[in-house]
């Protein structure tokens, strides 16, 4: 009985230490007035293919936004 109680107290205390000692997570919001929610992301990569059809790019962006919002 005492062993179970000591073990339970140890689990509670160790979880409190982990919970209270964890670093807070946060992110900076997009500071620009760009309506694109992915506007803050950037990359130095070369594009795989040129954007020849702006309607297709807009449709892909709309699909990504719709997928993230659901």
Q: What pLDDT, on the 0 to 100 scale, is given for residue 67? A: 87
Q: What pLDDT, on the 0 to 100 scale, is given for residue 47? A: 66
DSSP states along 33-53: --S-TTTT----PPPSS----
pLDDT tens-digit series, residues 44-56:
777 666 667 777 8
Is the per-residue pLDDT at 17 higher than 80?
no
């Amino acid at each position: 009985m005492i062993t179970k109680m000591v073990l339970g107290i140890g689990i509670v205390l160790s979880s409190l230490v982990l919970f209270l000692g964890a670093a807070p997570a946060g992110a900076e919001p997009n500071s620009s007035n760009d309506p694109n929610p992915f506007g803050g992301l950037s990359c130095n990569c070369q594009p795989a293919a040129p954007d020849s059809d702006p309607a297709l790019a807009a449709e892909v962006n709309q699909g990504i936004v719709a997928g993230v919002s659901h």
